[in-house]
Amino acid sequence: MNERMKELVQILNEANYNYYVLDNPTITDQEFDNYMRELINLEAKYPEFKQSDSPTQRVGGEVVSSFNKVYHEKPMLSLSNVFNEDEIRDFDERLKRENIKPEYVCELKIDGLSVSLLYEKGILKRAATRGDGVVGEDITHNAKTIKDIPLRINEPIDIEVRGEIYMTKKSLLELNEKRIERGVEPLANARNAAAGSVRQLDSKVAASRNLSCFIYHLPNPEDYNIKTHFEALEFMRKLGFVVSDNNRKVKDINELLKFIEYWTIERPNLPYDIDGVVIKLNDLKDQQKAGYTAKYPKWATAYKFPAELVLTKLKDIKMTVGRTGQVTPNAILEPVFLMGSVISKATLHNEDYIKMKDIRIGDTVAIRKAGDVIPRVEKVILDRRTGKEKPFEVPKVCPICGSMLIKKDAAYYCENPDCDKKTIEKLIHFASRDAMNIEGFGDAIVEDFYNMGYLKDIPDFYNLEKSKEQLMELEGFGLKSIENLLDAAKKSKENSLEKLLFGLGIRHVGAKGAKVLAKHFKTMDNLLEASYEDLVNIPDVGDIIAKSIVDYFLDYKNKEMINKLKEYNLNMEYLGNEKVNLNISGKTFVLTGALESITRDQAEEMIENAGGKTSSSVSKKTYAVIVGSDPGSKYTKAKELNIPIWSEQEFLEKIKE
Ligand code: IVH
């Protein structure tokens, strides 16, 4: 039996390789299924003969209780970034100054997560994430389900290779369709989807996600007598790894720029997302000469594409009502991929914007997304007009309650205090992370509870106990989930005053303003007694904010609500828990690009809590610029002015200090 099992493993692994790697199927699906079934049955009967490279592992099933830490013998480095031709030329010049005559290998920068694969005697023994570069996490059980990752390679050698696990655009679409069917939030982009999939304890989930993997790095080429990076890529391809066909050797910077130009245009036609081009010195001796910083190899860099524009159809325009009553037009789009996410909605700002750009329903439009900004309709492609497009008249009544809208500046507002949507949005805001942070009260639950009458106004968050029995009976809920919601609400009563102030949603009082007020007045009662003059004299509180606060507290309904919250024992004092960080105290920071592990608001809050300030523009006075992915011109300006540039990771480390 052992012999037959070995034979089946070989047949199936070869078939997988031909199908997934060479794109050249050699047996029919039917034959494959039959062999697979035979092998599964034999392995069930004779588990002692199960081969370590058996393809049955591809379907998942192994469940781990936690992720073991893995130490990387050679640190897994990241790449420095360049954003334009000048910076590419600087990179090239710097290498030339080191007496290197550069020949480069250009590769596509796949938007996924990096992985290290370790083989012993040709068998996959361990797969690990990058982690902080030195210590990563063991994800072997999940990596084994990825068809592009060979369980056995073509030589019985010990070797480590590194590459990128990613999800194709098609797989992400399919996954999101299924999620939407199940009523679960779709995943924002392919990178998050891939990262989330490999961080699952149960490998069945990763198996169902249809992940892929490109290999692009050989950490110890000297062990195999390899002289250039391109040779290393060919060597790894021969071993059975999937190495991209799009890698090119280029002999000078002009060829390099052509490669970038080509992929800037061709990028949307790739079946997976890329966010740039990686440029690597080809000669390994030259690589040694160029050397490393603590974080990056100096022999490579990543050119990042500028914010992308894509074309799609504007199917409809829908008006949405926000918590302030502002009614804004939103474009409903034919879903398209843009910078790693599926976009189906974009903002159209206001009536004037629609008129100025002559945007009509049915138009083909260009959408742009920059950093963490909401996508917006940039322009109409007039060439694509057929004559059937319909101009859009912004309605003058609220789409929810039918009240007449009032125009203020360029925007329209629903002034009906009882408009359902306004109230729902107000409640969602109150529970949101930057406000009272009542965990579990997501948009859908708040809306449902509102519609069922359990949550009509803010104080109701603290009076749900009385409806506990009924809530438990609701579909999809049980004792545990309701208790979690009640506990979260209870916990939020302890929040410092600024969270409550921000949560109330007083017009023009953002998270920052709420902090200034809480710090100044210390208690809600002091704030309630404050006059317009008291308010306007506070630095950072202008005329508009001061008026808005006075108006808010003049409304008896708001006063009544605050009294109710007091009755429910909500903390009404500023807890002032900031610890001043000497490195940061008094310094001004600028944020640019999308942060990964925290939101921009959280980063700003952390800086302020540590005694620092944030500003929206870079000047000589800026202490450091914190750079996320796809940064804007602030990054270039910081470089020009020689302002220190911190990555998100660096910032988090420094603020912890
Ligand atoms: S080389 C020392 N090549 O980009 C070599 N990285 O922003 C370091 N990436 O951490 C990596 N495609 O996760 C390399 N063709 C490619 C890549 C690539 C995507 C990722 C990788 C790296 C990140 C740096």
C-beta of residue 589 within 8 angstroms of C-beta of residue 613: yes
Predicted pLDDT at 371: 46
Distance of CA 585 to the CA centre of its chain: 29
Closest CA to 186 of 309, 145, 196: 196
607 pLDDT higher than 60: yes
Question: Is the CB–ligand 1 distance for residue 419 below 6 Å?
Answer: no
Give CATH 1.10.150.20 domain extents, the chain.
421-492, 497-567
How far is 122 from 81, CA to CA, in rounded Å? 35
Predicted pLDDT at 582: 56
Q: What residues contact residue 530 under an 8 Å CB cut-off, 6+ apart?
A: 521, 549
104 pLDDT higher than 90: yes
490 CA from centroid of ligand 1 (Å): 45
Mean pLDDT of the chain: 90
114 CA from centroid of ligand 1 (Å): 7
Question: Atom of ligand 1 at shortest distance to CA of 113?
Answer: 13
Q: Regarding the domain delimited by 588-656, which CATH topology (the fold level of the hierarchy) does it fall under?
A: Rossmann fold (3.40.50)
How far is 583 from 447, CA to CA, in rounded Å? 44
Identify the residue whose C-alpha is closest to ligand 1 atom 17: 109
Which amino acid does the sequence have at 327? V
Predicted pLDDT at 221: 96
Predicted pLDDT at 314: 97
| Annotation says 421 is catalytic | no
595 CA from centroid of ligand 1 (Å): 18
Size of the chain in residues? 657
42-92: pLDDT as tens digits? 998 998 898 888 988 887 777 777 788 889 989 899 899 998 999 999 999
Which of the pair, 482 or 605, is modelled with greater confidence?
482
Predicted pLDDT at 484: 93
Predicted pLDDT at 520: 93
Question: Is the CB–ligand 1 distance for residue 630 below 6 Å?
Answer: no
pLDDT tier at 629, thresholds 50, 70, 90: confident
Predicted pLDDT at 372: 45
C-alpha distances out from residue 395 to 220, 351, 352, 357, 380, Å? 65, 10, 13, 18, 21
DSSP 8-class letter at 466: G
571 pLDDT higher than 80: yes
Specify the CATH number for 2-59; select among 3.40.50.720, 1.10.287.610, 3.40.47.10, 3.40.640.10. 1.10.287.610
How far is 269 from 337, CA to CA, in rounded Å? 11
Question: Is the CB–ligand 1 distance for residue 115 below 6 Å?
Answer: no
C-beta of residue 232 within 8 angstroms of C-beta of residue 281: no
161 CA from centroid of ligand 1 (Å): 13
Catalytic residue among 74, 101, 109, 654: 109
Give CATH 1.10.287.610 domain extents, the chain.
2-59
Predicted pLDDT at 410: 86
Give CATH 3.40.50.10190 domain extents, the chain.
588-656
Strand partners, 215: 163
Write the CATH number of the domain with boundaries 71-302.
Answer: 3.30.470.30
Residue ranges of alpha helices (H) inside 20-118 are 29-45, 85-97
Q: What residues contact residue 556 under an 8 Å CB cut-off, 6+ apart?
A: none
Question: Atom of ligand 1 at shortest distance to CA of 79?
Answer: 24
C-beta of residue 484 within 8 angstroms of C-beta of residue 440: yes
How far is 435 from 519, CA to CA, in rounded Å? 16
Predicted pLDDT at 25: 83
The architecture of the domain spanning 309-414 is Beta Barrel (2.40)
Percentage with pLDDT > 70 across the chain: 98
Predicted pLDDT at 303: 95
Of 448-452, 497-501, 584-588, give the lowest mean pLDDT range.
Answer: 584-588
Pairing of strands 613-615, 588-592: parallel
Closest CA to 474 of 444, 430, 519, 501: 444
Of 107-111, 436-440, 479-483, 585-589, give the lowest mean pLDDT range.
Answer: 585-589
C-beta of residue 651 within 8 angstroms of C-beta of residue 598: no
Give CATH 3.30.470.30 domain extents, the chain.
71-302
Of 179-183, 256-260, 406-410, give the lowest mean pLDDT range.
Answer: 179-183
Full-model pTM: 0.54
Q: At 472, is the secondary structure helix, strand, or coil?
A: helix
User: Average of pLDDT values for 573-580?
Assistant: 71
C-beta of residue 110 within 8 angstroms of C-beta of residue 287: no
Instruction: Return the number of other C-beta atoms located less than 10 Å from residue 169's C-beta.
Output: 17
Predicted pLDDT at 109: 96
Placement of tokens 């000669």 in the chain: 283
Q: Regarding the domain delimited by 421-492, which CATH topology (the fold level of the hierarchy) does it fall under?
A: DNA polymerase; domain 1 (1.10.150)
580 pLDDT higher than 70: no
183 pLDDT higher than 50: yes
* DSSP characters over 618-646: --TT--EEEE-BS--HHHHHHHHTT--EE
Q: Regarding the domain delimited by 497-567, which CATH topology (the fold level of the hierarchy) does it fall under?
A: DNA polymerase; domain 1 (1.10.150)
577 pLDDT higher than 60: no
- What are phi and psi for residue 47, nearest 5 degrees? -60, -25
C-beta of residue 277 within 8 angstroms of C-beta of residue 257: no
Identify the residue whose C-alpha is closest to ligand 1 atom 2: 77
Q: What residues contact residue 210 under an 8 Å CB cut-off, 6+ apart?
A: 167, 168, 171, 174, 175
> Measured in Å, how far apart are the chain's first and last C-alpha atoms?
61
Distance of CA 298 to the CA centre of its chain: 27
